[in-house]
Amino acid sequence: GEWWKSDTEAIINEALKSGMAPNVSDAHTINGHPGPVQHCASQGEISINLNPSMFNTI
């Protein structure tokens, strides 16, 4: 999914009025939660190296 700091209806309306693509989202979401955002202080972060040839359950 995607996350915007702005009103999503306003973003869609502006795109429809201008005929251009909507603005790029501020962050992407995984299971509804935004991932790391630029200029965002975080208490902790987990980094996991995955082997793409294996089945990984997270």
- Residue in the block written with tokens 């009103």: 7
Asked whether residue 38 carries a pLDDT value surpassing 60, the answer given is: no
Residue 39: its pLDDT value, please? 59
Task: Give the mean model confidence (pLDDT) for residues 18-25.
Answer: 89
Rounded Cα distance, 34 and 53, in Å: 26
Residue 48, token pair as written in the block? 């996991």
Prediction pTM value: 0.47
Residue 19: its pLDDT value, please? 94
| Domain boundaries of the chain, sorted by first residue | 1-58
Residue 53: its pLDDT value, please? 82
What percent of the chain is predicted at pLDDT more than 70? 72
